[in-house]
Chains A and B, each alone.
Chain A
Amino acid sequence: MTPPTTTGAARAITNVDERPVLRERGQREVFCGLTGIVWMHRKIQDAFFLVVGSRTCAHLIQSAAGVMIFAEPRFATAIIGERDLAGLADANEELDREVGKLLARRPDIKLLFLVGSCPSEVIKLDLSRAAERLSRQFMPDVRVLNYSGSGIETTFTQGEDACLASLVPELPRAAGDARSLLVVGALADIVEDQFRQTFADLGIDNVDFLPPRLSTELPSVGPGTRYLLAQPFLTDTSQALENNGATRLSAPFPFGEEGTTAWLRAAADAWDVPERHFNAVTRPGRDRAKKAMERYRERLAGRRIFFFPDSQLEVPLARFLSREMGMELTEVGTPYLHKEHLERELPLLPAGVCVSEGQDVDRQIDRCFAAEPDIVVCGLGLANPFEAAGVTTKWSIELLFTPIHGYEQAADCAELFARPLSRREALAI
C-alpha cells in the first residue's frame, strides 16, 4: 500500500442529525453475514448452523474463524453443486438428505439454522419453506429455522441480526403485561453474568438475554417487555421484537464508564429506581472502570484515530474513545448508519468529525493516508499492508471476539487500542 498523490473526491454528502454524512458506493472491503456464525455457534450451545452455499462460503468461514479453529465445529456448509443448479426440486431433496445425515450424527443439536448465502439467494432456493418442512419432520427434537447471511443482503454483524430476528417469532408470548427486561445481542458469558448481577442489585428482576445460551431457554416477550440493545447492529431483531409488543429503551451502548452508566440508567429509569439507589449500586463499578482506564488514557489522549467500516460498532466506540480516552477522531466509517438506534450516540460525537457510511475502499485508503492518523481500525485484509506502510492498526474483528461491554471491561476495551501503539513504541527494530 502506497500513499496516494491525490485525494479522491466525495461522492455524496447528506445530513443526519445535522451532521454531514459521507455516503459511498464502491468496493466494500467487508465480511458478509456468514462470519457471525463464528461467534453465534459458541453462544447458543445446542445450535448448529448449516450454510447452504458454495465452496467460497465454506472457505470464508474457515478463514474467518481465526484462521482455522479446529475441533468438530457446530457449523458446516452444504456445498451447492452443478446438479443442484440444474434442478431446484433436486436441491431440496439433497438438502433434506444432508440435514438428515447431519442430525443423525449430532443428536445433541436442538436448534438448526439453515443459513442462506449469495448463491442460494440468487438461485432462489427457498430456505424458509425448507425450514418449515424440516421442522415438521424433526420436531419436537430439533427446531429448524432459517436466515440469510449472504453478502448481497448482509454485512458482517448483520448476520447476527438476521439470526436473532429469525429467533424472535419462536419466543413464547409473555403472559399478561408484567414488566420484564430483555437484553438483546450476543455478549460474552462473563459480561452477561455481570449485567445480570447489576440489574438484580438495582431491583430489576425478570431479566432475560437474547440469544440465550441454550435454545431450550428462550425468553418470553410481550407488551410488558422493555428491551435494551447491547449491540448497535440489531435493526431487524429490534423490528421483530416491536412487532411482538416489546418497547426499546433508548440508550447509548454500554462501552466505557459513561456508556455503561447511561445504558443501565435507561433500564433503571424505566423501573423507577431511585437516583440514590442507582448511584449506590453503580458507584463501585464506575470507580473501578475509571481507575482502570486511567493508564490507557495517558497513552491514547490526543492520538488521532481513523475507523474503516466493519461491524457498526464504530460510532459507539468512537464516542467512547473521544469522550473518555481523549482521542481525536478523524473519520468514523460504518457500513450502515442506523440513525434511530444511534440517536443517543451521534450527538456525543465532537463537531467536525467525518462520519461515512458505505465504502469505496481505494478512495477511503487515500483519505486515510491524507488524514495521517496515529492508529487505523480496519479489517484483516488491510491491516498488514497499512503496517507495512508505517501506519499503526487495530484489527477490528477483535472488537467482536473480546469482551468489551460494561464497567469491568471498559479498560480492556481501551487497552485493545493502546496495545498497538505501545508495541510500535516498544519495538526498536
Chain B
Amino acid sequence: MQLTLWTYEGPPHVGAMRVATAMRDVHYVLHAPQGDTYADLLFTMIERRSQRPPVTYTTFQARDLGADTAQLFQDAVRDAYERFQPKAMIVGASCTAELIQDDPGGLADALNLPIPVIPLELPSYQRKENWGAAETFYYIVRTLSRPPADDRNGRSRPTCNLLGATALGFRHRDDVNELGMLLRQLGVDINVTAPWEATPDDIARLADADFNVVMYPEIADTAARWLERTYGQPYVAIPPIGVSATRDFVKEVAELVDVDPMPVLADAASRLPWYSRSVDSTYLTGKRVFIFGDATHVLAAARIAREELAFEVVGLGTYSREFARDVRAAARELGVDALITDDYLDVEARVQELQPELVLGTQMERHIAKRQGIACAVISSPVHVQDFPAAYAPQMGFEGANAIFDTWVHPLMMGLEEHLLGMFSEDFEFHNDATPSHLGGSATRGKAAAAETEDESIADVEALTWSPDAEKTLSRIPFFVRGKAKRNTETFALERGIATITSETLYDAKAHFGR
C-alpha cells in the first residue's frame, strides 16, 4: 500500500480514455463500477470538450455482483454499438472490474460485432495513466494498421505521421498545429496525426508515410517502435521543444527524407534567441531553477533553461518512471541528483531544500511553489483548466519557444525591481516582503517565511544560533534570495564549526558562495 495525497497520474484506463477521446469513430466500453464516470469531467471540464468522451461504463453496483456482471457488460457493448455506431471499439476493465475477472475481450468477441473490437489488458494495480495511453495506442495501431500501399498515390513530397497527441495533454492541441506547419514548410506533408482526431481508417494507412514523428514518447514510443519493426518505418524522437531542439529536429527530418533544412532554419521565427541575448535579460543569468514533470517536458526544459536562458538547473526530476533512465542521465550531465518519484511530498521537500528562484513543474509544483513564495511556470501534465488557454500557446517549434520564453520569464521579479529591493530593503513600498509588483497579492509572504523555518529537519542546523544582528541582516535580503542566503550561511557555518551566526558570518558566506 502506498499513501497518496495527490497523484500525478490517474489509473491506466484514464490513459485509454485520453486516446479514445482524442480519436473519431472509436468507442470505449469500460467495465467499471458506479462512480468511475467521474473521469468524464476531466475532459468536459478541464479541457472544456463540447462532447462527452466516447465511453460507456457498465456502472455495476453491489447487487449486480451477485448476479451476472458478464451479461451486463455484453449488454453495454451491444447497446453502445447500436447507439453510437463506431467504426472500431476498445473494451477493458477498470481497477474494480479487473478483480472480478469477467474477461471483457472474450465477452465482446462473442458478440461478433461487424467492426474491429480491441481488448485492452491494463493492470491497474501496477501501472498508471501514461502507460495506459501508450499501451492503448499501441494495441489500436497493431490491430488496425495495414501494410503500406504499393504506389505512393502520385505523391511527390515525403510524408510523415505525427504520433502521440491525446485528449487532456499539455498543449497537444497547439503542438499538433505548430509541428504540422513546420514540417510542411520543410517540404514534408502530414499523412496522419494520431491519436489526435484520427479515425480507424486513418490508423489503417499509417504505414503509407515515410516516417513517424514521436511527439510525446510517453504515449507514442511503443507504437512507433512497433511500426518500425513491422513496416521498417523510421521515426524521429527529438521532441522539438525549445529553439535548439527544434533545430535538431529539423536537421534530423531533413536528413531522413533528403530535403534542405536551410530555408526553415534561416527563417526561424523564434524571438527567444534575441530576447535572451538582449541586455534586459541579464538578470536571468544563473537564476536557480527546479524542474519536475513528465520526462519529455522535463528533459526539454532542462536544455532550454541551461542553454537558451542561462539559468542554473539546481534540480530536476520526473514522475515518469518508464523514462527514469533518460532523466537520470540528464541530471548527471547537469551535476545534480534526479528525483524520480510520484510522491508529491518528496517533491515539496526537495523544493524546500533547494530554495530555487523558479520552479518549472506541473500544477502540483505550482501549488508547492505558491506555498513557499517561489515563482513558478507550468510545463507539463497533470493539467488544470488554466493549461488550456484560449490563446494559441504551443510548446513545440519556434513559436513554442516564444510561448515558453514568456511563460517562464513573466513570473520572475524583473531586473530593475530586484536591484531596488536590494538597495532599499526597508522602503515602504519596495520592502522585503513585497511580491513582484506585477503579481500583486502579498498574502503568501508570511507563509513563505514560516515555511522556511519548518525545514530545519537536520539536527546540526538546529544547533546553530542566529545572533540578532545576523537576523536583521538576513531580513534585509530580498525574500526571493533570502531562503538561499540562509541555507548557504548555515552550510558555511556548519562546515567551519561556527555555532553562532553573526552578520559577519553571513557576509563571509556571501563572499564564499558568490551570488
- Footprint of B on A, CB under 8 Å? 1, 26-35, 52, 54-56, 58-60, 62-64, 67-68, 70-73, 76-82, 84-85, 91, 94-95, 97-98, 101-102, 118-119, 121-123, 150-153, 155, 362, 379-385, 387-388
Whether A388 and B51, one on each chain, are in contact in the complex, defined by CB atoms closer than 8 angstroms, is: yes
Q: How far is the CB of B265 from chain A (nearest CB, A)?
A: 41
Q: For A71, what are the chain B residues with a Cβ–Cβ distance below 8 Å?
A: 371
Q: How far is the CA of A362 from the CA of B79 in the complex (A)?
A: 10
Q: How far is the CA of A72 from the CA of B364 in the complex (A)?
A: 12
Stretch binding the partner chain, chosen from B34-42, B138-146, B320-328 = B34-42
Whether B5 and A73, one on each chain, are in contact in the complex, defined by CB atoms closer than 8 angstroms, is: yes
Judge whether B94 is part of the interface by a CB distance below 8 angstroms: yes
User: Which of A62, A68, A81, A381 meets B2, CB within 8 Å?
Assistant: A81
Whether A94 and B1, one on each chain, are in contact in the complex, defined by CB atoms closer than 8 angstroms, is: yes
Chain A residue, CB-CB nearest to B38? A60
Judge whether B297 is part of the interface by a CB distance below 8 angstroms: no
User: Which of A33, A55, A122, A384 meets B7, CB within 8 Å?
Assistant: A55
Instruction: List residues 1-40 of chain B with CB under 8 A from any CB of chain A.
Output: 1-7, 9-11, 13-14, 33-40
Report which residue of A73, A76, A81, A152 has the largest number of chain B beta carbons within 10 angstroms of its beta carbon: A152
Q: How far is the CA of A155 from the CA of B49 in the complex (A)?
A: 25
Whether B45 and A81, one on each chain, are in contact in the complex, defined by CB atoms closer than 8 angstroms, is: no
Q: A56-B124, A152-B33 are in contact. Are A62 and B95 (CB under 8 A)?
A: no
Whether A380 and B44, one on each chain, are in contact in the complex, defined by CB atoms closer than 8 angstroms, is: yes
Whether B11 and A55, one on each chain, are in contact in the complex, defined by CB atoms closer than 8 angstroms, is: yes
Q: How far is the CA of A63 from the CA of B45 in the complex (A)?
A: 10
Instruction: List residues 38-89 of chain B with CB under 8 A from any CB of chain A.
Output: 38-42, 44-46, 48-52, 56-62, 64-65, 76, 79, 83
Q: A1-B51, A67-B45 are in contact. Are A152 and B3 (CB under 8 A)?
A: no
Q: How far is the CA of A35 from the CA of B64 in the complex (A)?
A: 22
Chain A residue, CB-CB nearest to B47? A384
Chain A residue, CB-CB nearest to B94? A56
Whether A54 and B124, one on each chain, are in contact in the complex, defined by CB atoms closer than 8 angstroms, is: yes
Q: A29-B40, A384-B44 are in contact. Are A362 and B96 (CB under 8 A)?
A: no
Q: A54-B95, A55-B7, A362-B83 are in contact. Are A1 and B52 (CB under 8 A)?
A: yes
Q: How far is the CA of A29 from the CA of B3 in the complex (A)?
A: 28
Q: A1-B52, A381-B40, A384-B48 are in contact. Are A101 and B33 (CB under 8 A)?
A: no
Q: How far is the CA of A226 from the CA of B447 in the complex (A)?
A: 45
Q: For A91, what are the chain B residues with a Cβ–Cβ distance below 8 Å?
A: 1
Q: How far is the CA of A26 from the CA of B62 in the complex (A)?
A: 14
Q: A56-B11, A59-B10, A98-B1 are in contact. Are A67 and B385 (CB under 8 A)?
A: yes
Whether B11 and A151, one on each chain, are in contact in the complex, defined by CB atoms closer than 8 angstroms, is: no
Q: How far is the CA of A385 from the CA of B49 in the complex (A)?
A: 7
Q: How far is the CA of A302 from the CA of B492 in the complex (A)?
A: 75
The 9 closest A-B pairs by CB, nearest first: A32-B35, A151-B35, A381-B40, A388-B50, A70-B367, A118-B96, A380-B41, A54-B95, A59-B10
A-B contact pairs, 20 of them (CB 8 A): A27-B37, A28-B59, A32-B38, A54-B96, A55-B4, A56-B13, A59-B14, A67-B46, A70-B367, A77-B4, A78-B3, A81-B2, A82-B123, A118-B35, A381-B40, A381-B41, A381-B44, A384-B48, A384-B49, A385-B51
Q: How far is the CB of A104 from chain B (nearest CB, A)?
A: 12
Whether A122 and B76, one on each chain, are in contact in the complex, defined by CB atoms closer than 8 angstroms, is: no
- Interchain pairs with CB closer than 8 A, number: 187
Q: For B363, what are the chain A residues with a Cβ–Cβ distance below 8 Å?
A: 68
Q: How far is the CB of B225 from chain A (nearest CB, A)?
A: 26
Whether B52 and A78, one on each chain, are in contact in the complex, defined by CB atoms closer than 8 angstroms, is: no
Whether A76 and B5, one on each chain, are in contact in the complex, defined by CB atoms closer than 8 angstroms, is: yes
Q: For B49, what are the chain A residues with a Cβ–Cβ distance below 8 Å?
A: 384-385
Judge whether B128 is part of the interface by a CB distance below 8 angstroms: yes
Further pairs besides A28-B37, A152-B61: 7, Cβ < 8 Å: A55-B7, A76-B4, A79-B3, A81-B2, A84-B1, A118-B33, A362-B79
Whether B7 and A30, one on each chain, are in contact in the complex, defined by CB atoms closer than 8 angstroms, is: no
Q: How far is the CA of A424 from the CA of B174 in the complex (A)?
A: 29
Q: A30-B34, A70-B6 are in contact. Are A122 and B99 (CB under 8 A)?
A: yes
Judge whether B262 is part of the interface by a CB distance below 8 angstroms: no
Whether B10 and A56, one on each chain, are in contact in the complex, defined by CB atoms closer than 8 angstroms, is: yes
Q: A81-B125, A82-B126 are in contact. Are A63 and B2 (CB under 8 A)?
A: no
Q: How far is the CB of A336 from chain B (nearest CB, A)?
A: 11
Whether A58 and B33, one on each chain, are in contact in the complex, defined by CB atoms closer than 8 angstroms, is: no
Judge whether B384 is part of the interface by a CB distance below 8 angstroms: yes
Q: How far is the CA of A202 from the CA of B385 in the complex (A)?
A: 48
Whether A151 and B44, one on each chain, are in contact in the complex, defined by CB atoms closer than 8 angstroms, is: no
Q: How far is the CA of A35 from the CA of B62 in the complex (A)?
A: 18
Q: How far is the CA of A98 from the CA of B2 in the complex (A)?
A: 8
The interface on chain B, measured as residues whose beta carbon lies within 8 A of the other chain's beta carbons, has a size of 59
Q: How far is the CB of B240 from chain A (nearest CB, A)?
A: 30
Whether B125 and A380, one on each chain, are in contact in the complex, defined by CB atoms closer than 8 angstroms, is: no
Judge whether B423 is part of the interface by a CB distance below 8 angstroms: no
Judge whether B100 is part of the interface by a CB distance below 8 angstroms: yes
User: Which of A80, A81, A382 meets B44, CB within 8 Å?
Assistant: A382
Whether B34 and A56, one on each chain, are in contact in the complex, defined by CB atoms closer than 8 angstroms, is: no
Q: How far is the CA of A29 from the CA of B1 in the complex (A)?
A: 29
Report which residue of B51, B56, B62, B100 has the largest number of chain A beta carbons within 10 angstroms of its beta carbon: B62
Q: For B76, what are the chain A residues with a Cβ–Cβ distance below 8 Å?
A: 27
Q: For A384, what are the chain B residues with a Cβ–Cβ distance below 8 Å?
A: 44-45, 48-50
Q: For B100, what are the chain A residues with a Cβ–Cβ distance below 8 Å?
A: 122
Whether A82 and B125, one on each chain, are in contact in the complex, defined by CB atoms closer than 8 angstroms, is: yes
Q: How far is the CB of B448 from chain A (nearest CB, A)?
A: 14
User: Which of B10, B34, B384 meets A67, CB within 8 Å?
Assistant: B384
Whether B37 and A385, one on each chain, are in contact in the complex, defined by CB atoms closer than 8 angstroms, is: no
Q: How far is the CA of A68 from the CA of B13 in the complex (A)?
A: 20
User: Which of B3, B5, B39, B123 meets A72, CB within 8 Å?
Assistant: B5
Q: How far is the CB of B453 from chain A (nearest CB, A)?
A: 17
Whether B11 and A76, one on each chain, are in contact in the complex, defined by CB atoms closer than 8 angstroms, is: no
Whether B2 and A79, one on each chain, are in contact in the complex, defined by CB atoms closer than 8 angstroms, is: yes
Chain B residue, CB-CB nearest to A155? B34
Q: For B384, what are the chain A residues with a Cβ–Cβ distance below 8 Å?
A: 67-68
Whether A30 and B35, one on each chain, are in contact in the complex, defined by CB atoms closer than 8 angstroms, is: yes
Q: How far is the CB of B349 from chain A (nearest CB, A)?
A: 12
Q: A27-B76, A54-B95, A385-B51 are in contact. Are A152 and B41 (CB under 8 A)?
A: no
Q: How far is the CA of A101 from the CA of B2 in the complex (A)?
A: 11
Q: How far is the CB of A72 from chain B (nearest CB, A)?
A: 7
Q: How far is the CA of A79 from the CA of B6 in the complex (A)?
A: 11
Q: How far is the CA of A80 from the CA of B4 in the complex (A)?
A: 11
Q: A76-B4, A384-B50 are in contact. Are A63 and B96 (CB under 8 A)?
A: no
Chain B residue, CB-CB nearest to A118? B96
Q: For A1, what are the chain B residues with a Cβ–Cβ distance below 8 Å?
A: 50-52
Q: For B1, what are the chain A residues with a Cβ–Cβ distance below 8 Å?
A: 52, 78-81, 84, 91, 94-95, 97-98
Chain B residue, CB-CB nearest to A85? B125
Q: For A68, what are the chain B residues with a Cβ–Cβ distance below 8 Å?
A: 6, 363, 367, 384
Q: How far is the CA of A87 from the CA of B62 in the complex (A)?
A: 23
Q: How far is the CA of A102 from the CA of B11 in the complex (A)?
A: 23
Q: A60-B38, A119-B99 are in contact. Are A151 and B33 (CB under 8 A)?
A: yes
Q: For B126, what are the chain A residues with a Cβ–Cβ distance below 8 Å?
A: 81-82
Q: For A67, what are the chain B residues with a Cβ–Cβ distance below 8 Å?
A: 45-46, 384-385
Q: For A385, what are the chain B residues with a Cβ–Cβ distance below 8 Å?
A: 44, 49-52
Chain B residue, CB-CB nearest to A33? B35
Q: For B99, what are the chain A residues with a Cβ–Cβ distance below 8 Å?
A: 85, 119, 122-123
User: Which of A28, A73, A101 meets B34, CB within 8 Å?
Assistant: A28
